[in-house]
């Protein structure tokens, strides 16, 4: 019985945002989207999205992609963290 409880606790803790997670990853996870789902919605490869989340490159999207991004995440553009929209301005 403790084993089941430990497994459930491990799952809960793994779903909590990590302190070093990127704002993009936190937003995606809060929207309950996988990297694949978000990348398909934006029309970018999963590896591109992964590089954005890892901070390897800043997201570079068209105005239409930003609109879809905000819609998929359920966040108004104005409420996005500044780090995410530096290159889109």
User: Domains, the chain, ranges and CATH?
Assistant: 18-84 (1.10.260.40)
Q: What is the pLDDT of residue 55?
A: 86
What is d(CA 9, CA 63) in angstroms, rounded to the nearest whole number?
41
User: Could you read off the pLDDT of 19-62 as tens digits, one per residue?
Assistant: 668 889 999 999 999 999 999 999 999 999 999 998 888 888 99
Backbone angles phi, psi at 74, to 5 degrees: 70, 35
Exposed e or buried b per residue across 52-77, where buried means at least 16 C-beta atoms within 10 angstroms of its C-beta: bbeeeeebebeeebbebbbebbebee
Q: Which two tokens stand for residue 7?
A: 């497994």
Q: What is the pLDDT of residue 1?
A: 47
The secondary structure element, H or E, covering residue 39 is helix 35-42
């Amino acid at each position: 019985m403790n084993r089941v409880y430990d497994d459930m606790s491990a799952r809960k803790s793994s779903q909590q945002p990590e302190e070093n997670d990127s704002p993009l990853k936190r937003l995606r996870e809060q929207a309950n989207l996988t990297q694949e789902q978000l990348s398909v919605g934006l029309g970018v490869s999963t590896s591109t999205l992964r590089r954005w989340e890892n901070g390897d490159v800043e997201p570079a999207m068209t105005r239409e992609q930003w609109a879809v991004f905000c819609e998929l995440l359920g966040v108004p553009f104005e409420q996005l963290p500044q780090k995410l929209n530096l290159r889109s301005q």
